[in-house]
Structures are given as structure tokens and as C-alpha cells.
A and B are shown apart, each in its own frame.
Chain A
Amino acid sequence: MAMIEAVDLTKDYGPKRAVDGLSFTVKPGIVTGFLGPNGSGKSTTMRLILGLDAPTKGDVTVNGKHYRDHAAPLHEVGALLEAKSVHTGRSARNHLLALAQTHGISKQRVDDLIDLVGLHDVAKQRAGKFSLGMGQRLGIATALLGDPSTVMLDEPVNGLDPEGIQWIRNFLKRLASEGRTVFVSSHLMSEMALTADHLIVIGRGKLIADADVQEFIRGASKNAVLVRSPQATELHAALVGDGVTVREVEPGAFEVVGLTAPQIGDLAAEQGLRLHELTPQQASLEEAFMQLTREDQEYRAALEEVTAA
């Protein structure tokens, strides 16, 4: 069963359409990356999932029900929203305690989670004094209160220092290794390449791709093969033919499109040519993403932002 299921999900804010007919499912037990440029509707989609905003059209359910209809919502989804959701004047511990009490969750669990995220020493300080990294840790402790089967995080590494980013990555791995469903948004392709198994890509509120990360890359691969040979001129002549393009990338090395690596190897053997390298080329996630959205002219400017980092 899908953990999160959106059908034709649409949200207008005044004349602006933030989410536009989005249909997708977030599958259980894996990390699903939710990728798109800033302002593409990722945060809105997450608010719709939690029922914080109501959809203009369409529907989204969590474990088969609307989020608000669950008896213990924090046990279904633990969420870390991008926007701060903490009273600045309340201590971290009291913040967690107040939310825990809505589900009858014990003080002991609150303290355990404070220790887990490393906020023990500052638990009694006002949350308004927290750094961004500490705020994210508090947000993650909040998300884990109800021991949720699904954890949803909106841009969890945004603005964090390298140590904080590393901590979040390890943390996502831990969640996935425990069999939890993880739905994590980012505007950074490189971040998704490191953490996600599956990708849902949106732009301007619309679905662009919904695929396994490997499949996503394969679908966009050029099927090129890198060949290196000390007999470059002879090899070039032997390879060129119908439907085959050979491009010299550096002296003695070609990128061949139109032949597979075994075909090139056999061809070279028949001609008695020596090969020093024969490598099938895979597109990077960035390249795949660029290729996928190349046709969308409107989308170009936003893309640069995605791939820049």
C-alpha cells in the first residue's frame, strides 16, 4: 500500500496556481526524493499532505486516509517543515512535551529524543535562541515523537553547515534502514543523488518525472561508450559507420554513440587494434534532469538554480 497518495492535487493561492494536477504515490520503506526548484510547489504539496492547507481540487491521503482522519496522526507522519514551527519563547523540551501530550506520549520519550538529536545541553533554553542547525534537530525530534511510519522532511539540509548536512544524511539513512518511508524534498540534485532511491520531480507545480533513481538516469543516458586506444586513427576509421557518431574527447580517446561496448570490443579485435579503455558512460543525475527538462523553455532559468549546486 502506498504511504502517501496524491491524485490530481491542485492548489491555487489567489490567481497563482502553486500545485497543478499532481498525481504521485510515495512507496513504503524507501527514500523518495521530492525534487524541484525553489517555488515549484514542494512545500505547498507537503502542507496539503498534512491538511494544513486545503486543496483547490484533487485529493491526497496518507496510509489510505486523509491525514486529519487518523486517530494518532503523529504516528502516521512525522514532519519537518521548512518554515519554523516553534514558539520562540518556549524551551525545546516544553515544545516537544506539549506536542507529545496530545498523543499521550511520555516525558521519558521526549527526553530520549532530545538526547538522540543531541540537544540535551540546550533543552531548557528558549527555542528562539537556537541556531539553524539546532532548530533542525529540534524539528527532527518533533517529527519522531509519534514513532511515525512515514517521515516527511522539507529541505532538511537547507542552510546547514557541512557537519549539519552530514548529520541529516546519516539520519535519513538510519530512518530508511529501520524500514520507514522517507519523503524528502530538495532543490539540490546533488543532495538527492546521495540519499534517494526514487525521485518525484516537479516544476511549476506540475509533475515532470516519477521514477526510480537508476531508471531516471538510464532513461536519460546517452548510451555512449568511452574508448581509448594508442591506434586512434585506425580505430576511428573502423568505428565510423551508419548510425554511429564518434567524437574525440581528447587525443587518443573517443566518445562513441551507436555501438555498445561489446560491439566495439569485437570490432577492435577483428581489426587487431589495441584498446586501453572501454567504458560505458552513464549520465549523472544532473545531466538526466537537464535532459528531461530541456524542452521546457520556461523552465530554463529555474533549472540553472537547481544544478548550480
Chain B
Amino acid sequence: MTVAAIPRLEHVGRVTQMRVVVSEWTKLRSVRSTKWTLGIATLLLIGLPCLVAAIVASHWNSMSPSEQANHDPMNTIGAGVGAGQLAIAVLGVLVITAEYSTGMIRASFTAVPKRLPVLWAKIGVFGAVTLALSVPALLIAFAGTQAILHAQSTLQVSFTDPGIARTVLGMALYLPLIGIFALAIGAIVRNTAAGISAFVAIFFVVPPLLLLLPSSWRDPIEPYLPNNAAQAIGTFHNDSHTLNPGPGLVVFLGYLVLVVGIAAFLMRRRDT
């Protein structure tokens, strides 16, 4: 029983950021959790708005005039964003924590010992894939809900109306951004359960706690919380308690730079 000659490598390539991106794309597309989480996110982003629209359309005539007047078609379009973001965030966490839980990270860092190209590539590939999913999903949600509500003339909006395209695309942009936030948290805690818990705490547990504080405390803080700043990016009507989409984006990008920066600092320094 002899071992055959080991094939020689004709050309030895160096590690480049672009090559690490290709590698991360292979990694992302070759695990089942990607298909599951993105499949669920798509279902929620398109299915929930259409469901809500169908219920509104069928009950429209029994709704009071004030209820009809208060109905905002933009809220219907974004009905799946709240639930869909969880699936996106779970994938964001898993993209990095699954490498730590399985030991794959040692192979990854042996191939790319400078490490940070792996983090940048993960963020880039994950961000691009989720954006490539969220933009069409929200456009379909927009077209779908508008079609279902075609009989309700007061709910009809045009994509070219002021603020409409910005809001729909803002909601689509919101998803990859919070996903990258979750990925960075995963890179910091290096554990799937801890990563998802930390994300849920920041986005769903801390904000309601703030309601317990007196408004003199709450009002200046609330718009600047990560969840509220991020949500402002895809909001159509802005009231005094929320940031406008532009400032919301800037504030949330500030948070992103902070968590990604911490993740990069720790990834570079820690033992694996």
C-alpha cells in the first residue's frame, strides 16, 4: 500500500483580500443554515406584507373612516422587516460563531494568518448577499401589497412619489446593516447562543426598559439607541421622537464602526 506522488503546485498564489472574499462566498453558500435563514427571511419579508394587505383589503369596508384614514400603506410593505431581521441577525451571528464552535476558525486563520481579511470578507459577502435578497424582497412586497390593495384608492402610492423609493430601499438597507451588527457581536463573543442573546438584548430588551424612565431622561436618549437609529433609515413619516433617515443612518453607521472595530481588535489579538 503506497501513497501516490503528491501533485506539485505549478503556480503559488499569494493571499489577497479578493481571494479571501471568494473563499468566504464558498463558505457561506455551502452550509445549510444560510439557505434556511435566508429562506425564512424571504418568506417573512414578502409573505407577511401580502397577508396583512389581504386582511386589510377584505375588511376595508367594515373599517371606520378614521381607521381607514390612519392606515399607512408603507407600514404594510414593511410588515415583514421586524420578524425578518431576526433570521438575518441569526445568520450574521452564525457566519462567524459556527467557525469557532466547529474549530473551522483554526483552518481559516492558518490559511489567512493575518486574520482581518477574513473579517472584512465575511462582512462584505454577508452584506452583499443579504442586500441582494432584501432589495428584491421589499420591491416585491411593495408591488404585491399595492396589487392586493388596488381597490383601496387612498392606499395607492407610486414608487416615484416623494420619499417612497427612499423608504422602501431604506428598509432593504436596514436588514444587511443590522445583520453586520450581529456578525460583529458574534465575532466579539465567539459563541452562537451568546451572540444571538446579545443581539436580542440590544435590539429588543434594552429599548422597552427605557420606557420605565421619566420622559426627561428618555426623550434625549431614545432616538439614538441602535435599534431606533437603524429603524429611522426605513421610516416614511418621522415624528419628533425619531431621527430622520439620513441622521439615523449616520448614527447607526457610527455604532457599526464601533462594534466592528472592537471585533477586529479582538480578532487580531486573541488566541484561537
Task: Check: B71 CB closer than 8 A to any chain A CB.
Answer: no
Pick the contact of A86 from B23, B102, B111, B115 — CB < 8 Å? B102
A64: interface (CB < 8 Å): no
A213 to chain B, nearest CB (A): 22
Tell me if B111 and A102 are in contact (CB < 8 A).
Answer: yes
Q: Are A85 and B113 in contact (CB under 8 A)?
A: no
CB <8 Å contact, A170 and B1: yes
Q: How far is the CA of A88 from the CA of B98 in the complex (A)?
A: 9
Does A85 lie within 8 Å of B103, measured CB to CB?
Answer: yes
A196 within 8 A of B: no
Could you tell me the distance between the alpha carbons of A84 and B99 in the complex, rounded to whole angstroms? 11
B13 at the interface (CB under 8 A from A): yes
CB distance from B156 to the nearest CB of A (A): 46
Complex partner residue of A68 from B12, B24, B114, CB under 8 angstroms: B114
Find B26's partner among A84, A97, A142 (CB 8 Å cutoff). Answer: A97
Give Cα distance in the complex from A97 to B107, angstroms: 12
Q: What is the minimal beta-carbon distance from B196 to any residue of chain A, in angstroms?
A: 17
CA distance A52 to B6 in the complex (A): 27
A112: B residues at CB distance < 8 A: 7
B4 CB, min distance to chain A CBs, angstroms: 6
Given contacts A71-B14, A74-B110, A104-B13, contact A86 B6 (CB under 8 A): no
Q: Does B2 contact A (CB under 8 A)?
A: yes
**Nearest-Cβ distance from residue A90 to partner chain B, whole angstroms:** 5
What 0/1 pattern do residues 67 to 89 of A give for CB contact below 8 A with B? 11011111100010101111111
Measured between alpha carbons, how far is A101 from B5 in the docked complex, in Å? Answer: 23
Q: Do B14 and A72 touch (CB < 8 A)?
A: yes
* Interface residues as binary, B15-27 with A (CB distance below 8 Å gives 1, 0 otherwise): 1100110111011
Residues in A with CB closer than 8 Å to B58 are: none
Segment at the A interface, from B30-38, B59-67, B257-265: B30-38
Contact B272 A89 (CB under 8 A): no
Out of A52, A74, A147, which one reaches B106, CB within 8 Å?
A: A52
Q: A68-B113, A74-B111, A174-B5 are in contact. Are A83 and B103 (CB under 8 A)?
A: yes
Q: Is B204 an interface residue (CB 8 A)?
A: no
| Residue A144 at the chain B interface, CB threshold 8 Å | yes
Contacts of B212 in A (CB 8 A): none
Contact with A along B63-107 (1 / 0, CB 8 A): 000000000000000000000000000000000001100111111
- In this complex, how many residues of chain A approach chain B with their Cβ under 8 Å: the count is 51
A51 to B26 Cα, complex, angstroms: 24
Q: Chain B residues with Cβ under 8 A from A178's Cβ?
A: 5-6
Closest Cβ of chain B to A67, distance in Å, is 6
Q: Are A87 and B102 touching (Cβ within 8 A)?
A: yes
Is there contact, CB below 8 Å, between B106 and A85?
A: yes
Contact at A103–B109, with CB atoms within 8 Å?
no
User: Which chain B residue lies CB-closest to A13?
Assistant: B271
**Are B6's CB and A147's CB within 8 A?**
yes
A residues near B110, Cβ cutoff 8 Å: 50, 52, 73-74, 79, 81, 85
Contact: B1 with A103, CB < 8 Å?
A: no
Q: Which residues of the partner chain B approach A81 to less than 8 Å between Cβ atoms? A: 106, 110
Contact status A174-B2, CB under 8 Å: yes
B121 closest partner in A (C-beta): A102
Instruction: List residues of A (18-57) whose CB comes within 8 Å of B's CBs.
Output: 47, 50-54
B33 cross-chain contacts in A, Cβ below 8 A? 89
The 8 Å CB contact of B23, one of A47, A50, A99, A167, is: A99
Contact assessment for B13 and A85 in the assembled complex, using a CB-CB cutoff below 8 Å: no
Cβ 8 A contact of A72, one of B7, B15, B107? B15
Contact status B102-A101, CB under 8 Å: no
Q: Find residues 147-178 in chain A having any chain B CB closer than 8 Å to their own CB.
A: 147, 166-167, 170-171, 173-175, 178
Identify which of A94, A105, A167, A175 contacts B9 (C-beta below 8 A).
A105
**Across the interface, do A103 and B12 meet the contact criterion of CB distance under 8 Å?**
yes
B29 closest partner in A (C-beta): A94
| Interface membership of A146, Cβ < 8 A | yes
Whole-angstrom CA separation of A73 from B99 in the bound complex: 20
Asked if B213 is at the interface of the complex by the 8 Å CB criterion, the answer is no
Chain A residues positioned under 8 Å from B27 (CB to CB): 87, 90, 94, 98
Contact code string B104-140 (vs A, CB < 8 Å = 1, else 0): 1111111111110000000000000000000000000
A109 is an interface residue with CB less than 8 A from chain B: yes
Using Cβ atoms and an 8 Å threshold, which residues of chain B touch A98? 23-24, 26-27, 30
Q: Which residue of B lies closest to A174 (CB)?
A: B3
Across the A-B interface, give the 10 residue pairs with the lowest CB-CB distance, nearest first: A104-B13, A147-B9, A68-B113, A94-B30, A71-B14, A101-B23, A53-B271, A85-B107, A85-B106, A87-B104
Q: Which residues of B contact A (CB under 8 A)?
A: 1-9, 12-16, 19-20, 22-24, 26-27, 30-33, 98-99, 102-115, 269, 271-272
* 26 A-B contacts (beta carbon < 8 Å): A50-B109, A51-B113, A52-B106, A52-B271, A53-B271, A67-B113, A71-B15, A73-B15, A81-B106, A81-B110, A88-B102, A89-B31, A89-B102, A90-B30, A90-B104, A94-B30, A98-B24, A102-B20, A102-B23, A103-B19, A104-B14, A104-B16, A116-B6, A116-B7, A170-B3, A178-B5
Q: 6 new A-B pairs (CB below 8 Å) besides A91-B30, A105-B9?
A: A52-B106, A70-B113, A84-B103, A85-B105, A99-B111, A101-B22
